């Protein structure tokens, strides 16, 4: 009899890739994926606590399974990820949702198979939250779900301790995988037909710092030298560690996409100091100058936070000014989310919600105006697109160019996983439409 699993993922791309690892573990145990959580024999919640909304959403969805669990007593409910790693959260989960069978932390992902087997042999809940990071687990077999794209973790954890960020407390201190393991994984993925590889880490720029391994630019160069046609991306970069050497490597290797995600968070120097970002707005703009010196056509995306404690209207105006100067291709914009356990959560001067909402609306308007303007420049051009999927509603294939712009186009045959040339005939905000150019 077929047994099914369902995974609910919250948060960033790193969590999406971790869910692929969870799927690989469940597949080894004989489970098959299903879209309907009510059909599943095991439901796993891979949580995020970076922002309050993600945490509340997870709690809400877990709570909705109470009736289902009462009907399906043999069903296993497992909750893992950043939320459970926070101090006291595992106990809170167990108290609030006693029907949850397994609670595991970010450092226990490699033990999930054993935790499931342990739960099968007992009635009481299994709770495993490792306090220390332990050794990096190699030899994982993720069940990848995003062909032709694939993600490779190169670092885990973070050493920066930005005052608003919970990551170092739930992911631990920064640890880097050995370069030979990363390169081998990339080689295998390219041999399997994957066309876009993204290297993941909280701060990829500080990869292997303090060790005898390759630097991050050297690692990029090694992977870009692998035979085959593919794209290479990386995220996320910390501005303080972005180097001239990295800009040169991007310029010298055409397989590395001309798109860099470089989160600035704020344009105000006083806010940046309070955030413990370790650079000024002028420092950040200088990094962009260095990047554009070597890669003039490079696009830059970023993260921006409004409503940080004590942010004044002048501080916010500095952020708008930086957005204008930097000419970002796009930006992820957020209202500051208070995270217990961080330095910022204890700061006085928390910004009222109505002020934060006003600022985020103005920021989004400014960013979107720039994005629309840049997207409109595509009309009439022919761009190379990696086809990623088919949109049945639009009856169009879709994919991205190396700058991350999504394009929709028709094709007489299935071209998912292929590079195609698309002549752009229209632009709609952040997306493009066009026709395949043959020959």
Q: pLDDT above 70 covers what percent of the chain? A: 100
230, 192 in Cβ contact below 8 A?
no
Query: pLDDT tens across 150-179, in order?
Result: 999 999 999 999 999 999 999 999 999 999
- Rounded to whole angstroms, the Cα distance separating 166 from 143 reads 28
40, 6 in Cβ contact below 8 A?
yes
- Is pLDDT of 187 > 80? yes
- Is pLDDT of 112 > 90? yes
Structure-model confidence comparison of residues 49 and 25, the more confident one? 25
248, 296 in Cβ contact below 8 A?
no
283 CB-contact burial (10 Å; exposed 0-12 / middle 13-18 / buried 19+): middle
CA distances from 333 to 75, 138, 303, 365 (A): 38, 34, 6, 11
Query: pLDDT tens across 236-256, in order?
Result: 999 999 999 999 999 999 999
Q: Which of 27-31, 89-93, 218-222, 299-303 has the lowest mean pLDDT?
A: 89-93
- Is pLDDT of 132 > 90? no
Q: What is the CA radius of gyration of the chain?
A: 22
User: Which structure tokens are listed for 381?
Assistant: 């051009």
Chain-wide mean pLDDT for the chain?
95
pLDDT of residue 326: 98
Cβ within 8 Å of residue 124, ≥6 positions away: none
User: Which structure tokens are listed for 56?
Assistant: 């509340």
**What is the tally of helices (H) and strands (E) in the chain?**
14, 19
pLDDT of residue 429: 82
Residue 439 pLDDT grade (very low, low, confident, very high; cuts 50, 70, 90): low
pTM: 0.93
pLDDT of residue 377: 95
* φ, ψ dihedrals at 70, nearest 5°: -65, -30
pLDDT of residue 278: 97
194, 202 in Cβ contact below 8 A?
no
Tell which residue, 375, 384, 376, 367, has the closest CA to residue 423: 384
CA geometry: angle at 152 spanning 147 and 158, to 5°? 140
User: Which structure tokens are listed for 267?
Assistant: 């344009």
Residue 288 pLDDT grade (very low, low, confident, very high; cuts 50, 70, 90): very high
User: Which structure tokens are listed for 268?
Assistant: 């105000």
- Rounded to whole angstroms, the Cα distance separating 244 from 293 reads 10
- Is pLDDT of 12 > 90? no
- Is pLDDT of 417 > 80? yes
- Rounded to whole angstroms, the Cα distance separating 21 from 138 reads 12
Q: Is 354 helix (H, G, I), strand (E, B) or coil?
A: helix
Q: Could you tell me the end-to-end alpha-carbon distance of the chain, in angstroms, rounded to an integer?
A: 50
- Rounded to whole angstroms, the Cα distance separating 64 from 69 reads 10
Query: pLDDT tens across 38-75, in order?
Result: 999 999 999 988 877 888 889 899 999 999 999 999 99
181 CB-contact burial (10 Å; exposed 0-12 / middle 13-18 / buried 19+): middle
- Rounded to whole angstroms, the Cα distance separating 101 from 303 reads 36
Per DSSP, 110 falls in state G
> What is the Cβ-side half-sphere exposure of residue 432, based on CA atoms within 13 angstroms?
29
């Amino acid at each position: 009899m077929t047994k099914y699993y369902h995974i609910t993922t919250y948060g960033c791309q790193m969590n999406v890739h971790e869910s692929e690892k969870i799927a690989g573990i469940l597949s080894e145990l004989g489970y098959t994926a299903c879209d309907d959580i009510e059909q599943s024999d095991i439901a796993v919640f891979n949580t995020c606590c970076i922002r309050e909304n993600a945490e509340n959403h997870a709690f809400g969805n877990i709570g909705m399974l109470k009736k289902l669990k009462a009907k399906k007593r043999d069903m296993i409910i497992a909750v893992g990820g950043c939320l459970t790693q926070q101090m006291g959260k595992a106990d809170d989960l167990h108290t609030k949702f006693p029907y949850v069978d397994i609670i595991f932390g970010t450092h226990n992902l490699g033990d999930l198979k054993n935790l499931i087997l342990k739960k099968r042999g007992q009635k009481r809940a299994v709770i495993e939250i490792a306090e220390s990071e332990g050794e990096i687990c190699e030899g994982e077999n993720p069940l990848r779900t995003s062909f032709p794209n694939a993600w490779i973790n190169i670092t885990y954890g973070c050493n920066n301790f930005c005052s608003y960020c919970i990551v170092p407390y739930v992911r631990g201190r920064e640890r880097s995988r050995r370069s030979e393991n990363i390169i081998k994984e990339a080689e295998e993925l390219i041999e399997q037909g994957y066309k876009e590889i993204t290297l993941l880490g909280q701060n990829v720029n500080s990869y292997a710092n303090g060790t005898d391994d390759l630097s991050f630019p050297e690692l990029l160069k090694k992977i870009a030298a692998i035979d085959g046609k593919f794209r290479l991306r990386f995220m996320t970069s910390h501005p303080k560690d972005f180097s001239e050497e990295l800009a040169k490597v991007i310029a010298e290797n055409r397989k590395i996409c001309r798109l860099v995600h470089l989160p600035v968070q704020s344009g105000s120097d006083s806010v940046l100091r309070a955030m413990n970002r370790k650079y000024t707005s002028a420092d950040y703009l200088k990094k962009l100058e260095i990047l554009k010196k070597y890669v003039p056509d490079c696009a830059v995306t970023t993260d921006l936070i409004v409503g940080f404690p004590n942010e004044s209207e002048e501080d916010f105006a500095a952020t708008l000014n930086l957005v204008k100067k930097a000419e970002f291709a796009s930006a992820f914009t957020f209202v500051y989310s208070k995270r217990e356990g961080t330095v910022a959560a204890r700061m006085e001067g928390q910004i009222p919600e109505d002020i934060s909402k006003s600022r985020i609306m103005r920021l989004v308007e400014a960013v979107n105006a720039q994005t629309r303007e840049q997207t409109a420049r595509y009309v009439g051009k022919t761009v190379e697109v990696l086809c990623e999927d088919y949109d049945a509603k639009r009856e169009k294939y879709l994919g991205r160019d190396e700058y991350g712009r999504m394009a929709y186009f028709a094709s007489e045959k299935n071209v998912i996983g292929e590079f195609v040339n698309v002549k752009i005939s229209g632009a709609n905000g952040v997306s493009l439409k066009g026709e395949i150019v043959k020959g």
